[in-house]
Structure 1
Amino acid sequence: MEDILRPIYQERASQTNTLGVLIIEKVQNTSAVTDTFDAVLLIVVKDVETPVFIKHYTYEDKKASLHIVREDQLREWLLLGTNRKIVEWILHGKILFDRNEYMNNLRDELQDFPFYNRKVKIGLEFAKLVRRYMEGKAFFDNSQYLDAYNHVAHSLHHLARLAVIEKGFHPEITVWNQVKQMEPEIFKLYEELVTSDEPIEKRLELLFIASEFLIHSRTRFGASHLIEIMKTKDEWTINDLISHPELEHYDVDLSMLLEFLLEKHFIDEVRIQTKGYDIYHRHYCVSKKLL
């Protein structure tokens, strides 16, 4: 397949803004990695108007996909984990073109998993975990068991990803295979949720009890990025936090995370009097026990 696609990637490699070219070929039983295509060409570029540009090709009974990705978009995917295939593409793809060792350096960076990137990913994953857990618990308390089941399944997935990151690895597409080796306790919870013969209400009840313990035990670790930033000021408004450049990717999960941390006494509420009678601005500060 590489020979067939050579004219396509050679044309791109000759352009000065192209940083690197990878090919990822489908291996038997791993078609999810290449979106069912026989081959994927990943081309990383520096300055183009469109962050992502995709083309599909066919040759006889084969099909291929071309992804031209701007460097800043690639970095965002790697930080946020919103395109999980990209890590496997970079780590396991064959490098066809590499300007100034860009792709090799990127691969080394991913394998080293720098502390800052890991810390941010932990915070983002923990925030998603908390949101799914709290929303699922609310559905459960209102006897909306199918919606609760959906949120619990997602919360366990975030817990699994968090556990893998905690061990210093990037979560892969087959994250449960990783977790089965690294954190069998979490794997067992997921297995019980999806395979148990117990009524759904009973399964969820047991899962919430177990999840509460696992989440609580990881709170200091999971919230360390947010707490570290909050320690730089005496108090914060929600808008201060949302506007902070290191917290912008927490997005809609931030408010729910703050409520969770208030409940667990990791942060405190600061009331500031408004002009209205008995109405206060709500600010936030790190709990004194963490200072």
Structure 2
Amino acid sequence: MLRPIYQERASLSDTLSVLLIENQRLDDPITDAFDEVLFIISSNNEVPIQSKHYTDGERKAAMHTISEKQLTHWLLVGTNKKIIDWLILGKVYFDRDEYAERLKQRLSEDPLFGRSVKMGMELAKMIRAYNEGKIHFERKQYMDAYINALNCLQHLARMVAIKHNTLPEKTVWSQMKKVDPSVYKLYEELIGSEENLEKRLDLVFLASEFFIHNYTNEASEHLLNILDLKDSWTIQELYDHKELSLYSSNLEFFIEYLVDKQLIEIVCVPSKNELLYHRQYRSQRGRNAL
């Protein structure tokens, strides 16, 4: 049923790979309960995702065409775990320049694809949640502070899982019981302790500050490595970088934090207005070593 479809797709110049994933049972979650999934990777990034459903009257199949850019985004961010299953379990029917095979090999050698960027993104989110929560806490807005404290611990747990080379799961707190019981204990104290809310929040924010400090060097490695590629960067150049764009709205906040920690240096560049300077950024790490 699907042969003419994947043969047609394989003939297109922008098709990189065609894989077929077959279900192992009727309600197989990997194929979304379809009998087969035709997974096509395209170098055309104009349309990130394109899906079609087929049937011959008895069996049903889904075809998903994913752009290379969207696939890389999912692998780095880790928001679509099913894609990894498709790449690993899929039977390759067409593979231009061994694109899928090389990707499979990389995933087998490094199951936590993009570990450094994942850690950086989680630390950036944790720092924002921590800072916003502390502001609410100091203003005695305890319920708003509680929400931020919970988010802060969630990003901490995900970062700890990544550090231990495991993908963070949806049930990350069950995961933490095995990976790092001390982090789970902190979560347990926040949601279940008999202490009053103010004391629980104070404990969480103190512990979060400690964890942020301990993880800063390792989790900022990805951003600092990119900064090392040039003498200095404008903020727009950093936003335009394909990997740094994954930090989204947390990028500027993260940069300012690293400036404060003297890991990033401000470079003042003259502008047309003699009273103002353009603010650019460079890694302080290499300069400190001189």
Q: Alpha carbons of 1:21 and 1:175: their partners in 2 closer, same or farther (altered >3 Å)?
A: farther
For the 8 Å contact 2:162–2:168, the answer to whether it is kept is yes
For the 8 Å contact 1:46–1:70, the answer to whether it is kept is yes
- Whole-angstrom distance in 1 between the partners of 2:255 and 2:176: 28
2:251 to 251, 254, 262: 254
- Whole-angstrom distance in 2 between the partners of 1:10 and 1:165: 40
TM-score of the pair, normalised by structure 1? 0.74
- Whole-angstrom distance in 1 between the partners of 2:125 and 2:232: 24
- The DSSP-based 3-state class of the residue aligned with 1:168 is coil
Deviation at residue 268 of structure 1 after TM alignment: 3.1
Deviation at residue 211 of structure 1 after TM alignment: 0.8
For the 8 Å contact 1:20–1:102, the answer to whether it is kept is no
1:130 counterpart = 2:127: yes
- The DSSP-based 3-state class of the residue aligned with 2:124 is helix
Give the share of equivalent positions with the same residue, in percent: 38
Deviation at residue 233 of structure 1 after TM alignment: 3.8
- Whole-angstrom distance in 2 between the partners of 1:203 and 1:76: 37
1:41 counterpart = 2:37: yes
1:154-175 alpha-carbon deviations (Å, 9 max, x no partner): 2322222222222233333343
Partner residue of 1:227? 224
For the 8 Å contact 1:38–1:64, the answer to whether it is kept is no
For the 8 Å contact 2:270–2:277, the answer to whether it is kept is yes
1:109-133 alpha-carbon deviations (Å, 9 max, x no partner): 2232289832233323322232232
Q: Alpha carbons of 1:232 and 1:109: their partners in 2 closer, same or farther (altered >3 Å)?
A: closer
1:174-205 alpha-carbon deviations (Å, 9 max, x no partner): 43343332222222222322333333332222
Q: Alpha carbons of 1:55 and 1:276: their partners in 2 closer, same or farther (altered >3 Å)?
A: same
Partner residue of 1:289? 288
For the 8 Å contact 1:160–1:179, the answer to whether it is kept is yes
For the 8 Å contact 2:107–2:113, the answer to whether it is kept is no
Deviation at residue 255 of structure 1 after TM alignment: 0.8
Deviation at residue 248 of structure 1 after TM alignment: 2.7
1:20 counterpart = 2:16: no
Summarize the alignment of residues 1-291 of structure 1 with structure 2, pairs less than 5 Å apart.
Answer: 7=1, 9=2, 12-15=5-8, 16=10, 17=15, 19-23=18-22, 38-39=33-34, 41=37, 43-46=39-42, 50-54=47-51, 67-91=64-88, 94-95=89-90, 98-100=93-95, 105-113=102-110, 117-271=114-268, 275=273, 277=275, 279-287=276-284, 288-289=287-288
Deviation at residue 217 of structure 1 after TM alignment: 0.3
- Whole-angstrom distance in 1 between the partners of 2:54 and 2:170: 25
TM-score of the pair, normalised by structure 2? 0.75
Q: Alpha carbons of 1:69 and 1:208: their partners in 2 closer, same or farther (altered >3 Å)?
A: same
How many residues end up aligned between the 2 structures? 276
- The DSSP-based 3-state class of the residue aligned with 1:75 is helix
Structure 2 unaligned segments of length 5 or more: list them: none
Deviation at residue 258 of structure 1 after TM alignment: 1.3
Amino acid at match of 2:90: I
Deviation at residue 47 of structure 1 after TM alignment: 5.6
Q: Alpha carbons of 1:50 and 1:237: their partners in 2 closer, same or farther (altered >3 Å)?
A: closer
1:217-269 alpha-carbon deviations (Å, 9 max, x no partner): 01000001111222344443323332344423222111100121122222233
Amino acid at match of 1:99: F
- Whole-angstrom distance in 1 between the partners of 2:194 and 2:3: 56
- Whole-angstrom distance in 2 between the partners of 1:47 and 1:231: 29
Query: What is the aligned-residue RMSD (CA, Å)?
Result: 3.8
